[in-house]
Chains A and B, each alone.
Chain A
Amino acid sequence: MPIPFASMDRMNWNTKAIDRADRLARARHALGRRLLGKQVATDAVGALLEATLQPGDRVCLEGNNQKQADFLARALVQVDPQRVHDLHMVQSVLALPEHLDIFENGVARRLDFSFSGPQGARLAKLVSAKRIEIGAIHTYLELFARYFVDLTPKVALVAAQAADAEGNLYTGPNTEDTPAIVEATAFSGGIVIAQVNELVDAGTTSLPRIDVPAGWVDFVVRAPKPNVIEPLFTRDPAQIGEVQVLMAMMAIQGIYAEYGVQRLNHGIGFDTAAIELLLPTYGESLGLKGKICRHWALNPHPALIPAIEAGWVESVHSFGSELGMEDYIRARSDVFFTGADGSLRSNRAFCQAAGHYACDLFIGSTLQMDLDGNSSTATLGRITGFGGAPNMGADARGRRHASAAWLKAGQQARTGRGGAAGTPRGQKLVVQMVETFREHMQPAFVERLDAWTLQEQAGMDLPPIMIYGDDVTHVLTEEGIANLLLCRSDAEREQAIRGVAGYTAVGLARDRRMVENLRDRGIIRRPQDMGIDPRDATRNLLAARSMRDLVRASHGLYAPPKRFRHW
């Protein structure tokens, strides 16, 4: 017999649809003739926001890593805080001053985000002044995931390159986070507002392709100036030093060749740029072409051009684009993910997933590491988050398909172990590559991360750690490589790290006998152990040593932004 249950006397299961209709009606009413179909007159953007936003709304403003919906951000700062206040902002990156101005003037109250590099210090001040509540810091993919669970935006303010009369959007090379944001918002009764650089009339001009269908978009407004995009992934080869060349040689010989790494992601930096520029020269001399580095989850780094031209690279999927690379990408459609229109299609959510599950190695730098191998870029007085690194630099425990590199790493970690910890499985190579001293002789190796102090200062649940020590498989410094996979105790792990920590206090405090023993067992390897003479590590090994060399390598297709020219 069925058990009766009390059902709520809920009359209406369509509250979201009704709410959405109300907002749309308010907008139509407020804008009048300044709304034509979905197109909003540029000077009506303030009225649009005040009509569609309600106090306490969860709002996603496109602060991506690279592109910014800066026109909408400025408009949001200008709304009447009496009408629109206490918004809950969910966004990937705090890049513009406006992203924090809305907290100063009460338009916004609460924040969930991933990265805030340029605004880290100001964010820390607002937190201690209690002008802002941070929900949590996330890695990008984690934040996108929550858009579909418990952080669903009610209103999305996005940036696109172009829109047509119906409201279809072309997001072009810098598609980035937009698809994830718009899908979550549009399919939960939310409102999607897009700023665009151009409107096409479908008569004489049309969209190169449709990246977001009109059915998902409610309003389109033409911005007076093209949206801001920063060239964050360009590194001038002229700034790469000998120490970085040495470390890059060790990465290629000591790790990529050793494990046969075919699929990888590079965290951006001069160290990894050096690796990219050494493939066609040093990598070639080792006979490694075709044996490593064929598939990449990577933004279109200009530093990868020589390797692509020399035939090393089969595919690159990107989180976003990179200014100046557009024509090169078009001309290399075999390598990059391009649409039928020829331009790049990037997608941060999918690229992060690719980096997590479909890559065998992540390598990136850090600011500090402790003796457990925990690493963090968190420093006192700044709250910055970590962007994609926690996702890239984490073992993918859900992975099931095998590759040589993954199996070898997993075997090195588990041989001799019993029980659950010894169950055979693969492991992703996660390499932290760092010089032992940073600028101003700041040591990269410390007994206690600043992250612990930051946790106390900012009242966080946990110390902000970028990559956990038990995910780190290798530590690579100018002194050599420590293979943590082979360590079988905390003491061994500690000495392995001390053994590559150079002349820092942490390094000088090493147990010399233990470190020698670790070297004998191959847990620590010095350049000489890998057949590398540090005196060979000169800039002459770089396939390109200047921005102009990169332009030449691209046959004139790469057009660096003005700030990088020197001719």
Chain B
Amino acid sequence: MKDIAPGLETLEYVFPGERPAGDFAPVLAGVVGSGNLEVLVEPAPGSDCSIRIETSARGFGGIWEAVVRDFHARHPLAGVRVSINDMGATPAVVSLRLDQAVSELTP
């Protein structure tokens, strides 16, 4: 915890995608409230899935990595950019919101 700069922590992950998401209108799931987060999913050029997280709950990078890795294993999207604003949601809530956002991509 001491190594983390004061303020919000920013974490970024990139995964090689498999399933092209195509073009779609941006999707938003969740609200930035205590113990909650918002997830914005947008189309992106290329075939990666990039995930950027800004969180007030600092020092949990290891857990975030495991969570997004499992998310990508469930939904190996390609050409997608995921942006998250988080206020201390537990991994259970994070996974739920990510899945909720993706479910709105595929009707």
Contacts and interface: CB of A to CB of B under 8 A. Distances in A.
Asked if A and B touch directly (CB within 8 angstroms), the answer is yes
Nearest to B66: A503
A188 to B, nearest CB: 52
A437 B60 CA distance: 12
Given A441-B57, A503-B67, A508-B66, A535 B103 contact: yes
B100 interface: yes
Contacts of B35: 241, 439
B63 A535 contact: no
B96 interface: yes
B92 A437 contact: yes
A441 B99 contact: no
B14 interface: no
A534 B90 contact: no
Contacts of B67: 503
B31 to A, nearest CB: 12
B93 A503 contact: no
Contacts of A436: 90-92
A435 interface: yes
Interface residues of B, number: 16
B99 A503 contact: no
Interface in A228-271: 241-243
A436 B67 CA distance: 13
Interface string B26-62: 0000000001000000000000000000000100101
**Is chain B's interface secondary structure helix, strand, loop, or mixed overall?**
helix
A24 to B, nearest CB: 59
Contacts of A537: 96
A370 interface: no
Contacts of A440: 88
For A435, A440, A503, A537, which residue has the most chain B Cβ atoms within 10 angstroms?
Answer: A503
Given A508-B66, A535-B103, A242 B90 contact: no
Interface string B66-107: 110000000000000000000010111100100110010000
Nearest to A534: B96
A478 B92 contact: yes
For B66, B67, B90, which residue has the most chain A Cβ atoms within 10 angstroms?
Answer: B90
Nearest to A439: B35
A502 interface: yes
A453 to B, nearest CB: 22
Given A503-B66, A503-B67, A508-B66, A534 B91 contact: no
B105 to A, nearest CB: 13
Interface string A526-566: 00000000110100000000000000000000000000000
Given A503-B67, A508-B66, A437 B90 contact: yes
A435 B90 contact: yes
Interface in A339-394: none
Q: How large is the interface on A (under 10, 10 to 19, 20 to 34, 35 or more residues)?
A: 10 to 19
Contacts of B100: 535
A534 B74 CA distance: 14
A503 B91 contact: yes
A243 B93 contact: yes
A502 B103 contact: no
Contact of B90 (A243, A508, A535): A243
A242 B91 contact: no
A508 B66 CA distance: 8
B96 A503 contact: no
A439 B62 CA distance: 18
A435 B90 CA distance: 9
A534 B91 CA distance: 14
B56 to A, nearest CB: 12
B84 to A, nearest CB: 16
B91 A502 contact: yes
Nearest to A243: B92
B93 A534 contact: no
B60 A243 contact: no
Contact of B63 (A243, A478, A503): A503
Contacts of A503: 63, 66-67, 91
Nearest to B57: A441
Contacts of A441: 57, 60, 88, 90
Interface in A421-453: 435-437, 439-441
B87 to A, nearest CB: 12
Contacts of A502: 91-92
Contacts of A241: 35, 93
Contacts of B62: 508
Contact of A242 (B57, B66, B88, B96): B96
Interface string A507-521: 010000000000000
Contacts of A508: 62-63, 66
A440 B99 CA distance: 23
Contacts of A479: 92
A535 B29 CA distance: 12
Given A241-B35, A478-B92, 4 more contacts: A508-B62, A534-B96, A535-B96, A535-B103
16 contacts: A242-B93, A242-B96, A243-B93, A243-B96, A435-B90, A436-B91, A436-B92, A437-B90, A437-B91, A437-B92, A440-B88, A441-B90, A479-B92, A508-B63, A535-B99, A535-B103
Interface of A: 241-243, 435-437, 439-441, 478-479, 502-503, 508, 534-535, 537
Interface of B: 35, 57, 60, 62-63, 66-67, 88, 90-93, 96, 99-100, 103
Q: Which 6 A-B pairs have the closest CB atoms?
A: A478-B92, A503-B91, A437-B90, A503-B63, A243-B92, A503-B66
